[in-house]
Amino acid sequence: MLRNSVAKKYARALLDIALEDKMAKEIGGELSTLASIISAHRDLSTALLQPMYGMGDRQGLAEAVCEKAGLSQTVQRFLAVLVETRDVLLLPEMSGAYARMLDDIEGRLHVIVETPWELDSSTEAGIKEKLHSLTGKEIILASSVNRELIGGIVIKMGNTILDSSVKAQLERVEEKIVEGVV
């Protein structure tokens, strides 16, 4: 939980700078790239955190990584701060938090829809339209098939889950029966 809180603070600070520079989308993409690089190369993150290397060496390595990846000065300075504060390993959480904050600012909502069958495009469009009219946000829909649902639909929007699946209804009936018996 503390990691998430710290990551959100860093993401918010970077987003504020990016918004001021009118580069929020670009910086978000670069942050995602940097997080992928750090996650993929454990030896790199270890070197950036290793106190046996001097701060100048670690900062030089961070600068070289950013230059090689073609990242902006803003992201390069951001990584320098993370090296200095030893928070490099929080980059994946920061990237996710940044993306969620930017989506919120730009009025986008990521929604996951689970059904026991494959959705056709007209059904997906109908769900998107209904959710857009309810939320007023642009809906980014991802659908998945979950055969265990039997029928119905489960919609996940952030921390909200709307479950009208047959499976959930049967579980509620079972709970009522057990409550009545005990």
The secondary structure of 147-181 as a DSSP string is: GGG-SS-EEEETTEEEE--HHHHHHHHHHHHHHHH
Q: Based on the domain organization, do 111 and 173 belong to the same domain?
A: yes
Instruction: Return d(Cα 110, Cα 43) in angstroms, integer.
Output: 33
Q: Determine whether 108 is exposed, middle or buried from the number of CB atoms within 10 Å of its CB (0-12, 13-18, 19+).
A: middle
User: Do 9 and 86 belong to one domain?
Assistant: yes
What confidence score (pLDDT) does residue 181 get? 66
**36 phi-psi bin (left φ>0, alpha ψ -120 to 50, beta other):** alpha
pLDDT given at position 150: 86
Q: How many structural domains does the chain have? A: 2
71 and 89 fall within a common domain: yes
Residues 72 and 111 in one domain: no
- Identity (one letter) of the amino acid at 181? V
Return the pLDDT at 170. Answer: 87
Last residue of a domain, one of 103, 121, 138: 103
Query: Can you give the CATH number for the domain in which 40 is found?
Result: 1.10.520.20
Whether 79 and 163 map to the same domain: the answer is no
- 33 and 77 together in one domain: yes
Q: Which domain covers residue 40, as residue numbers?
A: 2-103
Question: Among candidates 3, 6, 16, which has minimal Cα distance to 101?
Answer: 16
**Residue 154: Cβ within 10 Å count:** 19
On whether the pTM is more than 0.85, the answer is: no
- Scanning the structure block, which residue is given the tokens 């950036």? 48
Point out the residues of the chain with pLDDT beneath 50. Answer: none
Mark whether 82 and 145 lie in a shared domain: no
What pLDDT score does 182 carry? 56
Q: Do 124 and 57 lie in a common domain?
A: no
6 and 34 both lie in a single domain = yes
Q: Are residues 96 and 112 in the same domain?
A: no
What confidence tens digit (pLDDT) does each residue in 32-54 have?
A: 999 999 999 999 999 999 999 99
pLDDT of residue 1: 66
Same-domain pairing of 99 and 111 = no
Same-domain check for residues 146 and 170: yes
Pick the last residue of a domain from 39, 72, 103.
Answer: 103
CATH number of the domain where residue 150 is located: 3.40.30
